[in-house]
Amino acid sequence: MDSEKSYFITAEEAPAPLTATAEGRVRFQEVDAMGIVWHGHYASFFEQGRIAFGDRYGMSYQEFRRQRTPAPIVRYHCDYKRPLPFDSYYTVETCLHWNDAARLDFSYIIRSSGREVCATGYTVQLFTDKDGEICLLLPEWLLSFRRYWQRGDWRQGPWRAMEEA
């Protein structure tokens, strides 16, 4: 995929995607016998992206747990463009795309310190109830999250602080 293109098609009137950026440095045990990051470790980089996203928008893993709304990944995709060598710095730009359904559509761009695109990808998460069954309705707290997203006013920080105010 070209990094300009999007993995998700959203309606024209949908709110613009929300983005966050994480930074990392390639660890020694993340590189393979060729001295570059093993392709499987990008899942960990995407995960760092979602963590940074959660930090910024009050949507942390702990929040999902507190709300008892597990959101397992049901689809994972990665396109590799350029290798990342040992000890190099990288950024993960994470982007949540609007979707009316009860799911989370994240896309990712991993760039080297020289701003070259090294990999792009996406994940899809659904929601499950306590028996592991797929939920067709978005959990209440994420409906609230979406209202803030729709209003487009994130200036005062994470939505939860705003909600409480």
Count of positions on this chain that bind a copy of itself (CB under 8 A): 36
Query: Per CB under 8 A, which region of 5-13, 23-31, 93-101, 156-164 contacts a copy of itself?
Result: 23-31
**From the CB of 92, what's the least distance to a copy of itself, in Å?**
13
Among 66, 72, 134, 153, which residue interacts with a copy of itself (rule: CB under 8 A)? 72
Query: Per CB under 8 A, which region of 10-18, 24-32, 109-117, 145-153 contacts a copy of itself?
Result: 24-32
Among 2, 4, 9, 35, which residue interacts with a copy of itself (rule: CB under 8 A)? 35
> Quick one: 14 or 73, whose CB is closer to a copy of itself?
73
Please report whether residue 89 would count as binding a copy of itself according to CB under 8 A: no
Q: What is the DSSP string of the chain?
A: --TTS-SS---TTSPPPEEEEEEEE--GGGB-TTSBB-GGGHHHHHHHHHHHHHHHHT--HHHHHHTT----EEEEEEEE-S--BTT-EEEEEEEEEP-SSSEEEEEEEEEETT--EEEEEEEEEE-B-TTSPBPSS--HHHHHHHHHHHHT--TTSSHHHHHH-
Please report, as ranges, the residues that interact with a copy of itself according to CB under 8 A. 25, 27-29, 31-35, 38-44, 47-48, 51, 60-62, 70, 72-80, 83, 86-87, 132
